[in-house]
Amino acid sequence: MTQTSPSDTLPDVRGRLTPNRDLSALTWLRVGGPADVLFQPADLDDLQQFLRALPPEREVFPMGVGSNLIVRDGGLRAVVIRLGRGFNGIEIDGTRVTVGAAMLDAQAAKRAAAEGVDLTFLRTIPGSIGGAVRMNAGCYGTYVADHLVEIRAVTREGDLVTLSKDALQLSYRHSELPEGWVIVEAVFEGATGDPDALAARMEAQVRKRDETQPTKDRTAGSTFRNPAGFSSTGREDDVHDLKAWKVIDDAGMRGATLGGAQMSPKHSNFLVNTGEATAADLEGLGEEVRKKVFQVSGIELHWEIMRVGEPAQK
Ligand SMILES: Cc1cc2nc3c(=O)[nH]c(=O)nc-3n(C[C@H](O)[C@H](O)[C@H](O)COP(=O)(O)OP(=O)(O)OC[C@H]3O[C@@H](n4cnc5c(N)ncnc54)[C@H](O)[C@@H]3O)c2cc1C
């Protein structure tokens, strides 16, 4: 057993265990306190052995690359699991693409396109494949739900299981993955396409993003779900049209600030860390926006950014 503090023993691993790991460097918004422990498993077997041996009362939080997260300033009382090199593979067989959960969405899109498979919708989403599945990520009208076949995940008890797309019940920015399960691999099915045409489409998407969103700032993408988001499942009852940025504009909150946090002047549904923001500034500003939007339009905005952990001790 590895000793991290007198009261805290953890299973031996081949990967890396870091106690009290500051998470701010691992999130796009660059805020957040420490995790009790950060575990970076060497490979699938290491992850399974660790979870089997970890006492069941220890909370586990899998994170991707932190592009949809506010970790609060007091940090996370959990074992945070972050997948790396051992989970970064890709296999393309005809139109079927099997990708490791740690691979960046952009990388998966480019690798698939080079083999003539269209997963171009992933190109401009800055997360990892694990995060994309968990959030049913998507853009420009296409979502993970449209292309996912199945995933492999490790349960909190350390068992490797395969879950079909249907079992995940993907809906707008949501999936039904049990707490503490770690997605390790996803299988997608894409249409065939000409590699040059797919590459050109991806370049156009990147340009469009840069023109309309603060892609160079510290953000976590859309702060709130569209009040009744886009259809992400194709079901008739899942079609919506109100845009969060519009109701935020109507409430006069574009450019609003709190401490170092700002609602981006470029895209009013993007919350930006302008430099020295704390998680409390960012979350507090988001809550002010929700309040103002409700006062002005009666619409209740729901966070799309996941907020985890504890506030700073006063
Ligand atoms: C500039 C910018 C633009 C964005 N544009 C879009 C967009 O167009 N469309 C869109 O959908 N999103 C967008 N996002 C949000 C974000 O990129 C997505 O939600 C992305 O899928 C999150 O992936 P991640 O790896 O960063 O996950 P994280 O932010 O690290 O985690 C998000 C959630 O996924 C879970 N998770 C991550 N990895 C795993 C795993 N291996 N197993 C189990 N659970 C896991 C975490 O527990 C957490 O609940 C944008 C973000 C930014 C910063």
Q: Tell me, in angstroms, the distance from the centre of ligand 1 to residue 1's CA.
A: 33
Question: Average pLDDT in the 112-135 region?
Answer: 97
Determine whether the shortest distance from the Cβ of 88 to ligand 1 is under 6 A: no
Residue with the larger pLDDT of the pair 131 and 232: 131
Confidence class for position 9, pLDDT limits 50, 70, 90: confident
Residue 151 in contact with ligand 1 by CB distance below 6 A: no
Query: How many whole angstroms separate alpha carbon 269 and alpha carbon 133?
Result: 22
Mean pLDDT, rounded, for 235-242: 58
Compute the average pLDDT of residues 151-164. Answer: 98
pLDDT value for 313: 84
Q: What is the mean pLDDT of residues 102-131?
A: 98
Q: Answer whether 180 contacts ligand 1 (Cβ < 6 A).
A: no
Q: For this structure, is 173 an active site residue?
A: yes
Q: Helix 195-212 to helix 105-114 angle, to the nearest 10 degrees?
A: 150
| Tens-digit pLDDT profile for residues 191-235 | 999 999 999 999 999 999 999 889 889 999 999 999 874 444 545
Statement: residue 258 has pLDDT above 60: yes
Is residue 164 part of the annotated active site? The answer reads no
| Ligand 1 centroid from CA 268, angstroms | 19
Q: Note if 304 is an active site residue.
A: yes
Q: Look at the block and give the residue holding tokens 């503090």.
A: 5
Q: What is the pLDDT of residue 6?
A: 33
C-beta of 126 in contact with ligand 1 (< 6 A): yes
Over range 158-179, report the average pLDDT: 95
Confidence check: pLDDT of 7 > 60: no
pLDDT per residue as tens digits for the range 63-79: 999 999 999 999 999 99
Residue 165 above 60 pLDDT? Answer: yes
Model pLDDT, residue 69? 98
Q: Per residue in 299-311, pLDDT tens?
A: 999 999 999 999 9
Instruction: Give the percent of the chain with pLDDT over 70.
Output: 93
pLDDT at position 5 is: 53
Token code pair at residue 144:
């993970």
pLDDT confidence of residue 228? 72
Q: How far apart are CA 132 and CA 232, in angstroms?
A: 13
The CB of 26 under 6 Å from ligand 1? The reply is: no
Give me ligand 1 centre to Cα 131, in Å.
4
pLDDT score recorded for residue 4:
47
Which protein residue has the closest C-alpha to ligand 1 atom 10? 137
What is the mean pLDDT of the segment spanning 247-259? 97
pTM of the model: 0.94
Contact present, 111 and 105 (Cβ < 8 Å): no
Structural domains for the chain:
13-85 (3.30.43.10), 86-208 (3.30.465.10), 236-308 (3.90.78.10)
Q: How confident is the model at residue 240 (pLDDT cuts 50, 70, 90)?
A: low
Rg, C-alpha atoms of the chain = 20
* Three-state secondary structure of the chain: CEEEECCEEECCCCCEEEEEEECHHHCCCCCCCEEEEEEECCCHHHHHHHHHHCCCCCCEEEECCCCCEEECCCEEEEEEEECCHHHCCEEEECCEEEEECCCEHHHHHHHHHHCCEECHHHCCCCCEHHHHHHHCCEECCEEHHHHEEEEEEECCCCCEEEEEHHHHCCECCECCCCCCCEEEEEEEECEECCHHHHHHHHHHHHHHHHHHCCCCCECCCECECCCCCCCCCCCHHHCCCCCHHHHHHHCCCCCCEECCEEECCCCCCEEEECCCCCHHHHHHHHHHHHHHHHHHHCCCCCECCEEECECCCC
Q: What is the overall mean pLDDT for the chain? A: 93
Residue 117: name the closest of 201, 181, 4 by CA.
Answer: 201
Report, as an integer, the average pLDDT of 41-55.
Answer: 98
For residues 151-171, give the mean pLDDT.
97
Q: Report the distance separating Cα 140 and Cα 267, nearest Å.
A: 16
- The pLDDT of residue 295 is above 50: yes
